[in-house]
Each structure stands twice: as structure tokens, then as C-alpha cells.
Amino acid sequence: MPADTVIRPVAFADLPAVAKLAAELVGYHTKLDSARYMQIDNAAEGYAHFLASEIGNAKAVVLCADREGKIVGYTYATIEGRDWNALLDPHGALHDVFVDPSARRLGIAEKLIVETCRRLEALGAPRVLLHTAVQNKEGQALFAKLGFRPTMIEMTRERGAGS
């Protein structure tokens, strides 16, 4: 990661830039499978509002990568309790990881993920889970490098499909 990049908590002043990146993440998923992922109008505005509420949440970790005063990446994660439906004990959930395309392949995503996991573990998470699009092979390779292992495969069936 470039020395001019700092991983730090998101501040309220960062929300417009972080929300723009979150909207790009939404667009990425929508392009992969528009039937599976929500269609969100004004995604950046919605994410700015949502993440503003999460900044003060003691069970949330919202970090950004600040490169010379420009926000080039972010993560959003939470501490989750026991989930009987998913057969999960308490854990950390890494919901969002995104780095601006202009800042990729510099180690920024890796540093964001490592710091997010460190903070989740400091909050008591014995493990961290994430979901990744099946098409996201580059992300999956990074996640595996950082110690994540595949544990579930989500499958979606649209109404009227199959027999």
C-alpha cells in the first residue's frame, strides 16, 4: 500500500465520498445479476444516510482508505449475534469492501480488510464472515490469501424457473 494512504474510521465529512463508492459497489452487483440484487435509486444518498447512522454504532466498523485527502476505498462491517437460521454463533460480518478502480492493485483492499477484521476481533468477534459474488474471482483470491475459506454457496431461483 502506498505510504500516502491511511486506513482510518469514516468521519461525517467523508460520507459523500464513501457513499459514492458504495453506490459503485451496488452498480457492480446489479450488473452481475439484476434479478438477484436490489435496484436502488439514489444509492449514494441512501448509503450516506445509512452509514451516518452506523458511524456511531458501537457494533459497527466503518473504515476508509484516505490517499492524500481523497477517499479511495471503504469497508463496512458489524458484530452479529447468534443466528439460528444460518447456524452461526456470534461473529463479525464484513458487508462491504470496495476500492476505487483508480486505486486498485496497490494493497489498499488488503489493508482495509485486515484492519476491519482486527477491529471486529477487538470487539469480540471470534470469526469474520463475508459474502462475495460468485463472479468475483479476484476478490475471492484476496479473501483466501487473508485466511477466509469458502463455507456456503448461495443459489437463487426466480419464480417460474425450472419444472
Domain range list for the chain: 5-145
Q: Are 77 and 113 in contact (CB under 8 A)?
A: no
Residue 116 backbone phi and psi in degrees, to 5: -60, -45
Q: What share of the chain is helix, strand, coil (3-state, %, to 5)?
A: 35, 25, 40
pLDDT at residue 161, as a whole number: 86
Mean pLDDT, residues 100-128: 96
What SS3 state is found at 27? helix
Query: 27-60 pLDDT, tens per residue?
Result: 888 887 787 887 888 888 999 999 999 999 999 9
Distance of alpha carbon 103 from alpha carbon 73, whole angstroms: 8
**Range name among 1-10, 42-51, 112-121 with the lowest pLDDT average:** 1-10
Supply the pTM of this predicted model.
0.93
**The CATH number, out of the four listed (3.40.50.2300, 3.40.50.1220, 3.40.30.10, 3.40.630.30), of the domain defined by the range 5-145:** 3.40.630.30
